[in-house]
Amino acid sequence: MSDSEYEEETTYVVFDLGSIAPSEFIDEVSIKNGGCRIIGLEEGKPYLQLGELTLEGTVDETIGTHLMFEMQDKDPSKIPPSLAAVNPNKSEPKETKKTLVYQCSTENVVTLETITLTPKVAQQPKSTPSETSIIDAIC
């Protein structure tokens, strides 16, 4: 099969951090470290690293579908002039209107829990009795 015969597929996944990492922390780490690291997602045992925080996840299918939206400022030029002129509280500044724009959907969620990584300690190979010590023991 040549490269042109392969079909690319995109799958979206929701990472459920619970209350482990607030969004401000994620934003700060993303800016400082250039994002996050994810490994093992294809194998079904994902790990997520956010700065010094390491999380282990389990992949589950949801009962329903998660819909993802992006919040954007509403373009004031698209509001009809008759509605834009109506402001019952003229003394209060107008709030910026937001609109939601559909991005994608998924039926997969990765539930994450914090873990502590410890460096591997080199294990000493188990000493096996040498042939000479076995012969000495028999004699």
- Phi and psi for 56 in degrees, rounded to 5? -110, 140
In the β-sheet with 98-115, what is the strand arrangement from edge to edge? 14-16, 98-115, 53-73, 47-50, 37-39
Give me the pLDDT at residue 90, please: 55
Closest by CA position to 117, among listed 56, 39, 33: 56
Q: How far apart are CA 56 and CA 46, in angstroms?
A: 6
Q: What would the pLDDT profile of 69-86 be if each residue is shown by its tens digit?
A: 998 887 666 655 555 555
Q: How far apart are CA 11 and CA 104, in angstroms?
A: 10
Give me the pLDDT at residue 47, please: 92
Digitized pLDDT (tens) for each residue of the chain, 139 residues in all: 566 788 888 888 888 888 888 888 888 888 888 788 889 988 889 999 888 888 999 999 888 898 999 988 876 666 555 555 555 555 555 566 888 999 999 998 999 998 888 888 877 666 555 554 444 444 4
